């Protein structure tokens, strides 16, 4: 497939021989579960609606047949963008079953991001929810479609489709499987991309990450083992379902592969999460660290029965040890940290690691087939054990290249195929790694990654801005928030509100990327080679924040 970098044959052979790659598609594995666990609950929606494996399987097949009937062809890309409602699960699995490739957009994305993905991947279809919390996704899809002629098919979760789009509600009520034989649905090649994930953590504009069936099936099966999932697992997903953590680490597919049940929370707030844990006897909760802080500090926490909760799986940003220490005594459950990346690497703490390892490290590779080194980023040579360096990873579920990004791939992967993560880590004597920082130019806002260059390009389009630097400032709750240093054009005035109005209304970017502080300056500190010295700016803003300066 054009734009996709496969694993070299020697590695593919090795991964197959070791039993990591099964040469099965995601749909084959899911279909097996739908039959095997038939009458058991597979999915529970926020409103309490329960889907058994059998029912979910039927709806997925039905929707897949409709997608093919509407013109989706094998390997066509479909942008998926919905909140945590059952339709997101059904449409995701149906796209795979129809032979298409879902692009896992985030619900928070707006026209700028969605248009960019549509263009880059030449998407043929988009599936959105109608309007949600005051934003009209259908209207946005129509705007994206107007600029992207290859985007032919718009599907909308909701009853009243506009602009010639199709209602997912109506499709799910039409039992096409009774008229068309599902046996004729296309079969995909397990060596080719199944899903395109979004990169969170790269330098530069966001990239698309091709995950093949072989790599992604192994990814969730391996995760399900490491996180000890089984038929009794009830897993709460309150982070966006489209995120890698929620869909495959172990996420939806890990849970379904083992016969467990996923509870989908539409709302990521701690009140809803506590209520759902109590009501559905949740055993595994997937959360970013800020959500754990929310659960711990919720004023009505004592009113809920959390006895069923065995473990909180957490990653996306660093878990503060002070918070980690409160989990067992206050929530009565275990915690399992993961350093995860959409590019594939997954470093898990193990449930039987000793307490200090569990609380203070972010884990070790999930698979025996994973290789990693900690290197000096300047030279690419390994640092002595215990010293800080960049984490480089290679393995059966780690990509060899971004989708349609040859120039970036040459920089992000070593000649021998290691993914250069941009994360700074140190090896703990236990063999686990500890995250110490990062060298990639992005902001991690409570697990939501923002590429600095992407937002800077939008900010530079403002007529009052001569130059800018978008950087992280420390925040006690989210870890980091975004701050922008701006050199205004001579004679121009700019305020944070005016800038953010421009970013939202003119540039149409996702709200979580808006800078939360604006610093006006006449010049920037520069590095020896004349680049903006962001490290110096980060130090400057950290001092101001620490001193409480407005
Ligand atoms: C997960 O994936 P992404 O792709 O959204 O973000 C990856 C980046 C990492 O490179 C690292 O900078 C940061 O997020 N990160 C962590 C972390 N887990 C991820 N930083 C510190 N401590 C951690 N535990 O975020 C992701 C993917 C799968 C599972 C879980 C998280």
At residue 218's C-alpha, the angle toward residues 216 and 222, to 5°, is: 120
Q: Is pLDDT at 493 greater than 80 in this prediction?
A: yes
pLDDT category of residue 3 using cuts at 50, 70 and 90: very high
- Give the other-Cβ count within 10 Å of 29's Cβ: 18
Collect all residues with Cβ–Cβ distance below 8 Å to 18 and sequence separation of at least 6.
Answer: 368, 369, 396
Placement of tokens 């995760």 in the chain: 223
Radius of gyration of the chain (CA): 23
- Is the Cβ–Cβ distance between 154 and 141 less than 8 Å? yes
pLDDT of residue 144: 97
Partners of residue 342 on adjacent β-strands = none
Q: Average of pLDDT values for 92-115?
A: 97
pLDDT of residue 531: 92
- CA distances 469 to 58, 399, 442, 472, 535, Å, are 51, 30, 11, 10, 11
pLDDT of residue 123: 98
What secondary structure letter does DSSP report for 302?
A: G
202 lines ligand 1 (CB under 6 A): no
Half-sphere exposure of 198 (CA within 13 A, CB side): 28
Percent of the chain predicted with pLDDT > 90: 96
Q: Is pLDDT at 481 greater than 90 in this prediction?
A: yes
What digits encode the pLDDT tens for the residues 298-345? Answer: 999 999 999 999 999 999 999 999 999 999 999 999 999 999 999 999
- In CATH terms, are 22-37+55-213 and 267-438 the same topology? yes
- CA distances 49 to 42, 128, 387, 522, Å, are 11, 20, 51, 57
pLDDT of residue 482: 98
Report which of 339, 312, 337, 424 is spatially closest to residue 378, judged by C-alpha positions: 424
Q: Average of pLDDT values for 234-252?
A: 98
CA distance 86 to 88: 5
Whose C-alpha lies nearest to ligand 1, atom 19?
316
For 68, phi then psi, to 5°, come to -65, -40
Q: Is pLDDT at 161 greater than 90 in this prediction?
A: no
pLDDT of residue 36: 98
- Is the Cβ–Cβ distance between 267 and 46 less than 8 Å? yes
Helix-, strand-, coil-residue percentages of the chain, each rounded to 5: 35, 25, 40
Instruction: Tell me how far the alpha carbon of residue 225 lies from the centroid of ligand 1, in angstroms.
Output: 20
Tokens encoding 249: 């680490």
419 lines ligand 1 (CB under 6 A): no
CA distance 244 to 157: 22
CA distance 550 to 540: 13
Instruction: Tell me how far the alpha carbon of residue 448 lies from the centroid of ligand 1, in angstroms.
Output: 9
Placement of tokens 């399992």 in the chain: 336
DSSP per-residue letters across 157-218: ESS---TT-EEHHHHHHS-GGGTS-GGGS----TTSEEEEEEPSS-SSS--EEEEEHHHHHH
Instruction: Tell me how far the alpha carbon of residue 447 lies from the centroid of ligand 1, in angstroms.
Output: 7
Whose C-alpha lies nearest to ligand 1, atom 2?
341
- CA distances 27 to 92, 191, 498, Å, are 10, 14, 48
- Is the Cβ–Cβ distance between 84 and 264 less than 8 Å? yes
What digits encode the pLDDT tens for the residues 338-356? Answer: 999 999 999 999 999 999 9
- Domain 22-37+55-213 annotated CATH 3.40.50.980: yes
Q: Is pLDDT at 550 greater than 90 in this prediction?
A: no
Report which of 201, 207, 194, 265 is spatially closest to residue 236, judged by C-alpha positions: 265
435 lines ligand 1 (CB under 6 A): yes
Q: Is pLDDT at 125 greater than 70 in this prediction?
A: yes
For the chain, domain boundaries:
22-37+55-213, 267-438, 442-546
What digits encode the pLDDT tens for the residues 5-53? Answer: 999 999 999 999 999 999 999 999 999 999 999 999 999 999 999 999 9
CA distance 244 to 458: 26
CA distance 191 to 178: 32
pLDDT of residue 274: 98
Q: Which atom of ligand 1 is nearest to the CA of 448?
A: 5
| Mutation choice for ligand 1 from 341, 439, 451, CB with most ligand atoms inside 8 A | 341
Placement of tokens 């919390």 in the chain: 133
Q: Is pLDDT at 163 greater than 90 in this prediction?
A: no
Instruction: Tell me how far the alpha carbon of residue 345 lies from the centroid of ligand 1, in angstroms.
Output: 9
pLDDT of residue 132: 87
60 lines ligand 1 (CB under 6 A): no
User: Given the DSSP bridges, would you call strands 193-198 and 284-287 parallel, antiparallel or unpaired?
Assistant: unpaired
| Mutation choice for ligand 1 from 203, 211, 315, CB with most ligand atoms inside 8 A | 315
| Mutation choice for ligand 1 from 195, 254, 338, 340, CB with most ligand atoms inside 8 A | 340
446 lines ligand 1 (CB under 6 A): no
442-546, which class in CATH?
A: alpha beta
Cis peptide before 250 (omega within 30 of 0): yes
pLDDT of residue 399: 98
Partners of residue 101 on adjacent β-strands = 77
- CA distances 518 to 472, 481, 494, Å, are 12, 12, 9
Q: Which atom of ligand 1 is nearest to the CA of 347?
A: 24
Q: Is pLDDT at 204 greater than 80 in this prediction?
A: no
438 lines ligand 1 (CB under 6 A): yes
289 lines ligand 1 (CB under 6 A): no
CA distance 63 to 84: 18
- CA distances 238 to 101, 270, 272, Å, are 24, 9, 9
Q: Average of pLDDT values for 494-500?
A: 98
CATH H-level, domain 267-438: superfamily: ANL, N-terminal domain (3.40.50.12780)
Q: What three-state secondary structure class fits 315?
A: strand
Q: Average of pLDDT values for 365-387?
A: 96
203 lines ligand 1 (CB under 6 A): no
Task: Give helix then strand counts, H and E, for the chain.
Answer: 18, 27
- Give the other-Cβ count within 10 Å of 411's Cβ: 11
On the 0-12 / 13-18 / 19+ scale of CB atoms within 10 A, 292 is: buried
What digits encode the pLDDT tens for the residues 250-296? Answer: 999 999 999 999 999 999 999 999 999 999 999 999 999 999 999 99
Collect all residues with Cβ–Cβ distance below 8 Å to 540 and sequence separation of at least 6.
Answer: none
Report which of 479, 411, 478, 486 is spatially closest to residue 456, judged by C-alpha positions: 486
For 337, phi then psi, to 5°, come to -85, 150
| Mutation choice for ligand 1 from 203, 244, 290, 316, CB with most ligand atoms inside 8 A | 316
What digits encode the pLDDT tens for the residues 128-147? Answer: 999 888 999 999 999 999 99
Q: Average of pLDDT values for 408-417?
A: 96
pLDDT category of residue 104 using cuts at 50, 70 and 90: very high
What secondary structure letter does DSSP report for 239?
A: S
Instruction: Tell me how far the alpha carbon of residue 496 lies from the centroid of ligand 1, in angstroms.
Output: 29
pLDDT of residue 162: 86
pLDDT of residue 201: 65
Tokens encoding 492: 């121009």
pLDDT category of residue 200 using cuts at 50, 70 and 90: confident
Distance of CA 243 to the CA centre of its chain: 3
| Mutation choice for ligand 1 from 196, 339, 433, CB with most ligand atoms inside 8 A | 339
What digits encode the pLDDT tens for the residues 441-457? Answer: 999 999 999 999 999 99
Instruction: Tell me how far the alpha carbon of residue 432 lies from the centroid of ligand 1, in angstroms.
Output: 15
Look up the pTM and report it: 0.97
pLDDT of residue 549: 84
Instruction: Tell me how far the alpha carbon of residue 208 lies from the centroid of ligand 1, in angstroms.
Output: 16
454-472 burial by CB neighbour count: b if 16+ within 10 A, else e?
Answer: bbbbbbeebeebebbbbbb
Placement of tokens 């390892």 in the chain: 357
Q: What three-state secondary structure class fits 482?
A: strand
């Amino acid at each position: 497939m054009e734009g996709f970098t496969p694993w070299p044959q020697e590695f593919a052979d090795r991964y197959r021989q070791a039993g990591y790659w099964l040469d099965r598609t995601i749909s084959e594995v899911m279909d097996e579960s739908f039959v095997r666990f038939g009458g058991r609950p597979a999915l529970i929606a926020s409103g309490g609606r329960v889907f058994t494996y059998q029912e979910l399987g039927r709806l997925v097949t039905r929707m897949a047949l409709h997608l093919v009937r509407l013109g989706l062809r094998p390997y066509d890309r479909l942008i998926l963008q919905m909140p945590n409602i059952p339709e997101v699960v059904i449409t995701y699995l149906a796209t795979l079953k129809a032979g298409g490739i879902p692009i896992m957009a985030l619900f928070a994305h707006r026209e700028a991001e969605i248009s960019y993905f549509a263009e880059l991947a030449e998407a043929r279809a988009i599936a959105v929810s109608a309007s949600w919390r005051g934003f009209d996704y259908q209207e946005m899809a129509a705007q994206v479609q107007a600029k992207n002629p290859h985007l032919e098919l718009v599907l909308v979760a909701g009853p009243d489709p506009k602009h010639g789009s199709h209602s997912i509600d109506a499709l799910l009520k039409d039992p096409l499987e009774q008229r068309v034989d599902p046996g004729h649905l296309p079969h995909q090649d397990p060596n080719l991309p199944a899903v395109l994930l979004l990169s969170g953590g790269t330098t530069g504009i966001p990239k698309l990450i091709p995950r093949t069936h072989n790599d992604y099936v192994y990814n969730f099966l391996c995760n399900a083992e490491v996180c000890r999932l089984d038929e009794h697992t009830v897993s709460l997903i309150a982070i966006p379902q489209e995120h890698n953590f929620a869909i495959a680490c172990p996420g939806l597919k890990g849970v379904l592969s083992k016969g467990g049940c996923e509870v989908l929370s539409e709302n990521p707030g701690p009140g809803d999460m506590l209520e759902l844990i109590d009501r559905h006897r949740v055993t595994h909760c997937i959360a970013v660290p800020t959500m754990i802080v929310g659960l711990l500090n919720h004023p009505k926490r004592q009113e809920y029965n959390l006895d069923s909760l065995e473990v909180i799986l957490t990653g996306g940003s660093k878990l503060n040890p002070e918070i980690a220490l409160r989990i067992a005594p206050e929530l009565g459950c275990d915690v399992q940290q993961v350093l995860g990346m959409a590019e594939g690497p997954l470093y898990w703490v193990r449930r039987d690691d000793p307490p200090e390892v569990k609380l203070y490290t972010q884990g070790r590779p999930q698979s025996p087939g994973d290789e990693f080194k900690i290197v000096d980023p300047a030279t690419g040579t390994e640092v002595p054990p215990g010293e800080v360096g960049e984490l480089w990873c290679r393995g059966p579920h780690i990509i060899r290249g971004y989708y349609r990004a040859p120039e970036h791939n040459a920089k992000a992967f070593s000649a021998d195929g290691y993914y250069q993560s941009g994360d700074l880590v140190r090896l703990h004597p236990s063999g686990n790694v500890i995250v110490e920082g990062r060298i990639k130019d992005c902001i991690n806002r409570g697990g939501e990654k923002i590429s600095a260059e992407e937002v800077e390009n939008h900010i530079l389009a403002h007529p009052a801005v001569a130059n800018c630097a978008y950087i992280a400032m420390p925040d006690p709750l989210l870890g980091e928030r975004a701050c922008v240093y701006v050199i205004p054009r001579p004679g121009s005035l700019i305020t944070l509100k005016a800038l953010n109005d421009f970013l939202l209304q003119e540039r149409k970017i996702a709200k979580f990327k808006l800078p939360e502080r604006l610093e006006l300056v006449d010049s920037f500190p520069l590095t020896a080679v004349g680049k903006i010295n962001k490290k110096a700016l980060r130090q400057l803003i950290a001092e101001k924040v620490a001193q409480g300066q407005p």
